[in-house]
A and B are shown apart, each in its own frame.
Chain A
């Protein structure tokens, strides 16, 4: 079997008299004229997409775009008018009630916008609910519910009632309830939309962290583009019941498929979306075994006054300046003697908004290093500003090009190709 956890094929939902409306819809009639002709409202129009196992698939759209209807058709809280919804390759649309119930119990969990907790039950009893209806023995379900509560950080609150908790904590209960029955698929319907911005961001972070351990298949509904870009592996953008574009956050931002998407994304605060990895330029670096003469030559060729120094494993050691190199050359010293350690660095996934300060006070371009301290690239102020201005040339697209790691100059003749243009081929 392939990795497609959920396959949605031409799923359509029409509210009202559907037969005629469905026919018109399939003939390509627009939503408005169908409403005029038949009085039926098109909720979702022939949506088709796949969700891979282990990914966070975000469905985004403004209110009334059909996203909540669409997600409810994935577990048939709303019955589709037409189309197929395959969960693990099995169509649930044609399923009998009893089988559907089993799917809901074992394969799909859901988190709701307004939490939808049971007010007469404690946090623990709420978390147990999914297991309880399956007839799981009391001890087992308490154990599993406690594990889930621990995961969402609600240990110690298990005997409180939902009303006694803040919104953020209530939604953690909602999340714990969904996690408790170990379903592979998590449907999250505007799960964080009712929370205030700071709590929302915390919850997003926690969801991402949980996801990095659990690898659930998550379908996340939101109307908030920033949220979609933050947590989505892929995003489907909906308008008037139709999916207008599906792609990675970057694809959506950089190549909007039509005017609607473009208008939607134009107000995005790029500094909260783009990372150091997106805007870094190829770093020229000199190996520590080389002499100051080579380093000086490189700097001269590149037209720069300082250069980063790496070891054999391309780990960043520090930087040297041209004047130091010249002096070292005159006095027959090695690079190691004039090395300035403790240069400021950032990781490739640092958001631009978090690195402005470092970039603004640094005397030499800030180094981008990965978790093994290997030099990935450098941040040049002009490129950072260019990226913020939406200049596509200033942004690295990871799909085709991985920015070259620090070049080992051993065999290459240094050429003056400048540091401003990203180099394509991965070495």
Chain B
């Protein structure tokens, strides 16, 4: 039996229905969900360590000593949700091709397991920083699927880039956030980050580079989705990504979207109508940066 006998039996195939553009859009989504550990859903939440902070983030001003260095603590008279700085109003530093001044450590080995203690420590650190930086914002869920999980929790298990994700709610509605701790294998430059993280063709991306109080390199990306064709944003949506690259090679990626994960989960098809659930992400770039600069928020396996 030969291949040509099969080909003869098949004859002339009908026109293909395989749309490579749709395949690529789905592939991008699949890749991102995999990166964020959502494909398998969230496992057991690490809540014990957050008992002290409670299930709900407390409103009111935060103690100054809980605010990361370099950022002013919110005052009682300040708005609980300061508006995100507009990309147009933010001084835009042109992307530079500077060579990183440190040698990043190798990424964690595949299969390294985040221990229960490590996960609990990261969870406590993150939620404490979040409470300090964004008082009055309520953690609605650890993901769109596990609604009862009301803290941003790092999961135990095998990770190269542990992440805590969830939906936040304030007066403007619900939106998603995610905080990923990893080690720096790049990208380090605005152009690289835009290409690696937000390569959807219909997205508009803006990026600003700056330095942190301890010499950290900070990249702040604002991206929008005017047509509603990308995975995470929805029509008219907006997202922020802040990368904090430390001199020791550790990295924090903090993200916020103007749509909740539960809404994003429903947007499996790029053709599905999808509108953002709010005008701005639930955390501003300044707030994301403040959380990401928290000294204890680092992963060094």
User: Are A and B subunits of one complex?
Assistant: no
B→A interface (CB under 8 Å): none
